[in-house]
Amino acid sequence: ARWLECSLRASGVLGSWRVHVGMHRKPSMRQLHVHLLTADFRSERLKTKRHWNSFNTRFFLPLAQALCMLEATGSADAEARREGTSALEHELLQSAPMVCPPCSAAAGKDVTARTMPDLKRHLATSEHKRNCCVS
């Protein structure tokens, strides 16, 4: 996946956005697949809290971590097997607040949104854009 990121960055498609590459703990498709997303998360397809949290909580495994888990255990998510996938899925996708990881890291505290419209407004701010760009 890194070769794809490098290729897209060299072509100018990614601009200065940071990139997230990884897998969901409980895949949404039967086929093994990897997600490559820009850190700005500005998309008309991002419509629900569940969707946001699927990429911004422990439900989303960075690719290196997922590969290590696959090699060590044969599963991309030993934690979900221990805790029960449905309980973990509910906790991370439904119950967890919508936290913006790059802005929270920059602020030293959780930057959250209560509703999707609030989140969309946050994603459009210059602060969010600054926190999601490669330095």
Name the residues annotated as catalytic.
Answer: 33
Contacts of 77 (CB under 8 A, 6+ apart): 25, 26, 61, 69, 85
What is the C-alpha separation between 83 and 58, in angstroms, rounded?
Answer: 13
Contacts of 32 (CB under 8 A, 6+ apart): 23
What is the C-alpha separation between 36 and 116, in angstroms, rounded?
Answer: 22
C-alpha distances in Å from residue 107, one per residue of 23, 47, 104, 126, 128: 27, 25, 5, 14, 11
